[in-house]
Amino acid sequence: MQSALPCGKQERELRRVQAPGVCPHCGGKVEAIDVESKWRLCFLAVCSKIKRKYHCTLCARRLVLYY
């Protein structure tokens, strides 16, 4: 999902893969999504990060990984 605004936070999905394990809420498959987020200040890239987010494919909940 990309924002059309020149300033603020922009996110872009890089890839989507199946992750090991099952959802603790419904037992569905878990999907790992790599997301690149950039903070922009009027066409000047200030910060860029790549994060991995986990979602259930069945109930669409965002899952948090605890160590």
List pLDDT tens digits, range 38-64.
887 777 767 889 999 999 999 999 998
More confident residue, 60 or 9: 60
For the residues of the chain, what is the DSSP string, one character each?
Answer: -----SSEEEEEEEEEEEEEEE-TTT--EEEEEEEEEEEESSS-EEEEEEEEEEEETTT--EE----
Mean pLDDT of the chain: 85
Domain boundaries, the chain: 8-63
Q: Enumerate the β-bridge partners of residue 40.
A: 8, 45
Q: What is the pLDDT of residue 31?
A: 96
The answer to pTM > 0.75 is no
- Specify the higher pLDDT residue, 33 or 41: 33
Q: Check residue 44 and give its pLDDT.
A: 73
